[in-house]
Amino acid sequence: MNLTQEDWVSQYEADDNAVILDVRTEAEVNEGMIPNAVNIDIYEGQGFIDKLAALDKSKNYYVYCRSGARSAKACDVMNELGFENAYNLLGGFLEWDGEVV
């Protein structure tokens, strides 16, 4: 499900079962990331799928990338793997105006 930054943040902050998932490359992550995010690079191919499959499907995942395209794809893959709650950040990190580490 695609969420605007405002909805993504407010829903995440009210969610006691939330995980932030960053699907960007290591080089992109080194430029900064949203605090407490877990990074799994979508370009790892089967490795990406294997790492997703190892995640707790009972959690709610708030997913982002640089612009929102890869994270939308990641949410689709997660849905195929049985994740019920994967939320894509529209506009991605490029439009993020929250805290960065």
Alpha carbons 41 and 25: distance in angstroms, whole number: 5
- Known catalytic membership, residue 75: no
The one catalytic residue in 20, 40, 42, 65 is 65
Beta bridge mates, 20: 62
Beta carbons of 59 and 34 less than 8 angstroms apart: no
Neighbours of 19 (CB within 10 A): 18
Catalytic residues: 65
